[in-house]
Amino acid sequence: MYPDYFYTKDHEWIRVEGGQGVVGITDFAQKQLGDLVYVELPAVGSSLSVHQKIGSIESVKAVSDVFSPAAGEVVAVNKDLEGAPELINQDPHGKGWILRLKLSDKGALAGLMNAADYEKYLAGLEH
C-alpha cells in the first residue's frame, strides 16, 4: 500500500503534493474493472465538490463512474490516458493518475481512509 495516499470507499485515491491533490483509482478498482478501453476526463478549470462525479472509466466488462475524493479546481488531467487508458491497469498509483486538483480544503482529507484503514476495508469486502 501507499502510506502517503488517502482512499475512498469507492476506490479512488488522492495524494497531496504541495497545494494540489493527485487523483486516481486504486489497484483494487482497476482489477475489478479489467482491461480499460476508455477514460472520460473532466475539463481543466472545472470546480469539483467532494464525491462529485469527475468522469467515467470504461472496460471490456463495464462502465464505472469516478468521484472526486476532495473539493477543488481541476488544474490538470492526464492526457496520456486518452490514447492509452491501459496505463491505469499497468500503474494505477503512478502513471495512471487521472487529474490534479488545486485543493480548496485540505481538511476534507480527514474524512478519507489512510492506507492501513483502506487495507482493512478491502479485507472486509472479501469476506
**Confidence (pLDDT) at 22:** 97
Nearest to 21 by CA among 13, 31, 32, 29: 13
CA-derived radius of gyration, the chain: 14
**Confidence (pLDDT) at 110:** 86
CATH of domain 5-121: 2.40.50.100
Cα 76 off chain centre by: 14
All three cell numbers of 26: 486504486
Nearest to 94 by CA among 21, 20, 12, 24: 24
pLDDT values of the chain reduced to their tens digit, one per residue, 127 residues: 666 899 999 999 999 988 899 999 999 999 999 999 999 999 999 999 999 999 999 999 899 999 999 999 999 999 999 999 999 999 999 999 999 999 998 777 888 999 999 999 999 987 5
Q: What is the pTM of this model?
A: 0.94
**Confidence (pLDDT) at 25:** 97
So where are the chain's domains? 5-121
